[in-house]
Amino acid sequence: MRVHSSHEVPQMHKSQTPISLTDDQLTEVFRLASPLCPEQRSAFLEDVAAALSQAPYLEDGAVYRVCRESQRKFFDPPELSHDVSKYR
């Protein structure tokens, strides 16, 4: 059994290539991941990475659109009860 160090970089598959995002773009990706359930964030990030790897250009608008579309796939809005209003 091999123990992985917390500082060890995971091995990438040959089909995966690094995506170069600016600090602002990466901040936007994480900002749009934050309202998702923690269990869904990894799938969201993988979906975003897959879509961005196919994008011809990584401009701010393209990154935002990809994140927005992926967020719609994974966002599960909370159910709000109708009787919680303080204005009854």
User: In the prediction, which pLDDT does 56 show?
Assistant: 85
- Reading the chain (88 residues) residue by residue, the pLDDT tens digits are 444 444 444 444 545 678 889 999 999 999 999 999 999 999 999 999 999 999 888 899 999 999 999 999 998 887 777 665 666 5
User: In the prediction, which pLDDT does 88 show?
Assistant: 57
User: In the prediction, which pLDDT does 18 show?
Assistant: 82
Instruction: For residue 41, give every residue at least 6 positions away whose Cβ sits within 8 Å of its Cβ, in sequence order, or none.
Output: 33
User: In the prediction, which pLDDT does 17 show?
Assistant: 75
